Amino acid sequence: VGYDGFILAISFDTALRAAQELLPVPVVGITQAALVAAEPRERTIGVVVFGETCLPMYRRVIQSYGVSPVGYEIVGLGSAAAYLSPQALDRDVVAACARLGQAGAGAIVICGTVIAGMAARLQADVQVPLFDGASALALCLDHVRLRDTAPARPSALGDTIGLSQELTDLLRGTSLDTPP
């Protein structure tokens, strides 16, 4: 593959499990990493999401990791431009974190790809530890350091139709040790 690990920078960790099975190196999702960093088994967590339409998807993703948050807070978005300018949302995120803290959250995960780094920026304004997708780098490096690779790979594929030779080789496991 030519890399020591991959970070899947898609806030819903879309196709994470498939990528973990496919690649012979660690693959970490940004939502997964934020939840791991928040240590949900040792303390209750709250979750901040952006836009009401995202909530059902995040609930499914977070539940798939066996995490049951103490609560979710939705920060409304007036436009896509608002999400792409995360500093404009800081005040609303801090208020959402305060409500989650009052609800008993011992740590808070802020979900979203564009907002990776927001937790560090806002930590001084929030009473409980904050985490976001920026945690993925540390988790991925930990997996690389421990040589913690993917789950058992599925059996090799037979013929494929309409895929590039490179993708076919990758799916078959025949090009995994060949640098790009």
**136-148 tens-digit pLDDT:** 888 888 888 887 6
User: pTM for this structure?
Assistant: 0.81
For the beta carbon of residue 76, count every other beta carbon within 10 angstroms. Answer: 10
Q: Which residue has the tokens 């590039």?
A: 164
Top-confidence residue, 113 or 98: 98
Strands (E), 116-172: 130-131
Query: What are the phi and psi torsion angles at 32 (to 5°)?
Result: -55, -45
Q: CA–CA distance from 5 to each of 19, 66, 127 (Å)?
A: 11, 24, 33
